[in-house]
């Protein structure tokens, strides 16, 4: 899809093509949808008008006519414009042709038929264009303060957010990738996680990248009939300056790492994993049950043993259905399994007694890879804290039985913040105890409620499921899903997650 550089060069070519200041005397429309569906009404309205000026706003070619009429032309996926002598052979994919009194024709060529040229009054056109975001080349408006106001606190990933034309006008898939590479920002980062210095780098990168592309005539990625060409016949050479877009599997021109291609919001995204780490963190917030310690396994076995005392045999899969659920949802499931033979309260109390006996004899197992991960954090002087919805008394006991209580200076528990429910406030409080903001922290969780709360707090939330597979909702909420804690350790060692003190 033509983006700002291609549209800007198109407009510049048209301004020099000899059609500005001349009157339209004929129209040919081979695809009525290109002009809104009613070819006769379009032709009746535009014939006799004089083209007063041609400008650009975002990705729109703005045709200003006399008689209070404005044409807004969007090239969409495959549109391009050319100026040809009247009577010359029409192209197979010419959808709209405007004939001028000077003997020239403006032809709208659009193989995929997505482009549109629609007519509005000046007031109507202004209303449409006012909805667009800031123009990158307007230095008075495209400032750190303006962009920070538009993106700060937003939970959307930064690449899809930049493609929103209400944020930055004219930026598309190619130059969003290139701008993020220039600024050293991973495309999957949430806008809320960006620091002021990173937003400042992005504000500098966008007009720089677009300026280079405009100077190169834009970017054409091939020789097919749907690839972009300029009205004057000039070639678009911007592809030679691309650093990441379309270069998956090749090496980064800055550091030599392999360029990666992924998909975000159904659009491709290209980045360098070394130059654009997926997170820049100042601290780590860890959940407890399931994430660091294997308490859930003990509780499941104990509940099964307790139920057996009343003659009930509960299958593993039935009890696993409670993992990752809220307390109310888990209670409902267990009540259904117990039926009328024993109350939930009675069976739970007995299960707690059995679990306490097991823990007293065997302690609580730490999750594989946890010790190495905490050692890596200590080696890098990365501060870390416990952020759990578990009550304080239970948390202190479990951490002590697992042999890791002394490793944490800060422990924030659910009963102190949210009555035991996973919530963003737990992560904000834990980060504050480290002297940080949650958006500058890595949060590690094993459940859907926890990962959603961590993400809502703005943390870079990594989901490491323990006993059950994550739901689609949990996967969407997580910045990344890992199988083991060891994978997170490797992300630190490889530089995919970097520490900024």
- Kindly report, residue by residue over 312-345, the tens digit of the pLDDT: 999 988 888 887 677 788 899 999 999 998 999 9
Q: 118: pLDDT confidence band, cut at 50, 70 and 90? A: very high
Whether the CB-CB separation of 389 and 426 falls below 8 Å is answered with yes
Q: What is the pLDDT of residue 226?
A: 41
Contact indicator for 88, 103 with CB cutoff of 8 Å: no
Domains defined for the chain, CATH in brackets: 4-130 (3.20.190.10), 144-220+241-276 (1.10.8.50), 280-290+366-499 (3.40.50.1000), 295-362 (1.10.150)
Q: How much is the average pLDDT of 4-24?
A: 96
Radius of gyration (C-alpha) of the chain in whole angstroms: 30
Q: Is the pLDDT of residue 419 over 80?
A: no
- Considering only residues 244 and 190, tell me which one the structure prediction assigns the higher pLDDT: 244
Question: Percentage of the chain with pLDDT > 90?
Answer: 76
Work out the average pLDDT over 295-299. Answer: 86
Closest CA to 321 of 480, 146, 148, 468: 468
Per-residue pLDDT reduced to its tens digit, 148-160: 999 988 888 999 9
Rounded-to-integer distance, Cα 228 and Cα 249, Å: 25
For the residues 385-394, what does the mean pLDDT come to?
93
Residue (of 77, 60, 54, 55) closest to 4 by Cα position: 60
Query: Which tokens go with 29?
Result: 């429309």
Please tell me the predicted confidence (pLDDT) of residue 224. 44
Helix axes 196-215, 4-15, angle to 10 degrees: 40
Other Cβ atoms less than 10 A from the Cβ of 455: the count is 24
Going by the DSSP 8-state scheme, the letter that residue 449 receives in this structure is: H
Q: Would you place residue 225 in the very low, low, confident or very high pLDDT band (cuts 50, 70, 90)?
A: very low
Residue 497's DSSP bridge partners are: 279
Evaluate whether 173 touches 187 at the Cβ level (below 8 Å): no
Is the pLDDT higher at 192 or at 97? 97
Annotated catalytic residues are 2-3, 59, 267
d(CA 482, CA 464): 5
Mean pLDDT for the chain? Answer: 92
Q: How confident is the model at residue 67 (pLDDT cuts 50, 70, 90)?
A: very high
Residue 233 is predicted with a pLDDT of 78
Half-sphere exposure of 156 (CA within 13 A, CB side): 14
pLDDT digits (tens, 9 = 90+) for 455-492: 999 899 999 988 778 889 999 889 899 999 999 999 99
Rounded distance, CA 58 to CA 214, Å? 13
Distance of alpha carbon 142 from alpha carbon 136, whole angstroms = 6
Q: Measured between alpha carbons, how far is 126 from 351 in angstroms, rounded to an integer?
A: 68
pLDDT band at 221 (very low <50, low <70, confident <90, very high): low
Confidence of residue 232 (pLDDT cuts 50, 70, 90): confident
Strands 283-286 vs 441-445: parallel, antiparallel or unpaired: parallel
DSSP-assigned letters across all residues of 55-114 = EEETTEEEEEESTTEEEEEE-TTT-EEEEEETTSPPPTTEEEEEEETTSEEEEEE-TTS-
Residues 163-178: tens digit of each pLDDT: 999 999 999 999 999 9
b/e for 241-265, b at 16 or more Cβ within 10 A?
Answer: ebbbbbbeeeebeeeebebbeeeee
Mean pLDDT of the region 383-395:
93
Whether 223 shows a pLDDT value over 50: the answer reads no
Torsion of CA 187, 188, 192, 196, to 10 degrees: -30
Tokens of 344: 């939930």
Of 255, 264, 145, 135, nearest to 207 by C-alpha is 135
Query: pLDDT exceeding 70 applies to what percent of the chain?
Result: 98
Is the dihedral angle over the CA atoms 194, 195, 198, 200 positive or is it negative?
positive
Per DSSP (E only), the strands in 234-356 are 260-264, 267-271, 279-281, 283-286
């Amino acid at each position: 899809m033509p983006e700002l550089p291609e549209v800007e060069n198109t407009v510049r070519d048209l301004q020099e093509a000899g059609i500005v200041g001349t009157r339209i005397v004929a129209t040919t429309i081979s695809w009525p949808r290109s002009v809104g569906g009613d070819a006769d009404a379009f032709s009746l309205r535009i014939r006799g008008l004089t083209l007063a000026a041609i400008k650009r706003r975002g990705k729109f070619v703005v045709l200003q006519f006399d008689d209070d009429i404005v044409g807004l032309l969007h090239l969409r996926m495959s549109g391009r414009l050319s100026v040809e002598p009247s009577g010359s052979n029409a192209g197979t994919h010419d959808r709209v042709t405007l004939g001028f009194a000077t003997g020239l024709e403006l032809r709208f060529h659009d193989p995929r038929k997505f482009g549109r040229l629609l007519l509005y009054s000046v007031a109507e056109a202004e209303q449409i264009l006012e909805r667009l975001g800031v123009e990158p080349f307007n230095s008075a408006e495209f400032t750190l303060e303006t962009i920070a106001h538009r993106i700060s606190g937003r939970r959307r990933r930064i690449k899809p957010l930049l493609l929103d034309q209400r944020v930055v006008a004219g930026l598309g898939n190619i130059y969003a990738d290139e701008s993020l590479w220039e600024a050293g920002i991973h495309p999957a980062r949430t806008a809320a996680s960006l620091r002021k210095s990173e937003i400042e780098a992005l504000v500098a990168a966008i007009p720089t990248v677009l300026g280079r592309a405009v100077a190169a005539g834009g970017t054409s990625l091939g020789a097919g009939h749907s690839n972009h060409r300029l009205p004057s016949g000039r070639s678009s050479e911007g592809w030679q300056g691309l650093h990441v877009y379309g270069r998956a599997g090749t090496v980064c021109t800055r550091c030599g790492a392999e360029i990666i291609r992924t998909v975000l919001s159904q659009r491709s995204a290209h980045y360098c994993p070394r130059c654009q780490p997926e997170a820049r963190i100042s601290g780590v917030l860890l959940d407890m049950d399931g994430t660091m310690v294997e308490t859930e396994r003990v509780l499941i076995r104990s509940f099964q043993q307790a139920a057996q005392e009343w003659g009930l045999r509960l299958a593993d899969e039935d009890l696993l259905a409670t993992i990752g659920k809220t307390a109310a949802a888990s209670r409902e499931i267990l009540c259904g399994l117990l039926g009328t033979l024993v109350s939930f309260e009675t069976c739970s109390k007995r299960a707690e007694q059995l679990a306490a006996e097991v823990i007293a004899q065997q302690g609580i197992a730490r999750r594989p890879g946890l010790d190495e991960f905490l050692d890596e954090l200590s080696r890098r002087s990365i501060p870390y804290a416990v952020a759990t919805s578990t009550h304080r008394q239970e948390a202190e006991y479990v951490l002590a039985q697992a042999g890791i209580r002394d490793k944490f200076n800060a422990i924030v528990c659910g009963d102190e913040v949210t009555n035991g429910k996973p919530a963003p406030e737990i992560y904000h409080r834990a980060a504050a105890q480290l002297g940080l903001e949650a958006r500058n922290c890595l949060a590690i969780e094993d459940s859907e409620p926890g990962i959603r709360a961590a993400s809502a707090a703005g943390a870079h939330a990594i989901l490491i499921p323990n006993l059950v597979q994550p739901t689609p909702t949990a996967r969407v909420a997580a910045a990344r899903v890992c199988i083991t804690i060891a994978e997170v350790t490797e992300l630190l060692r490889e530089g995919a997650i970097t520490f900024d003190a």
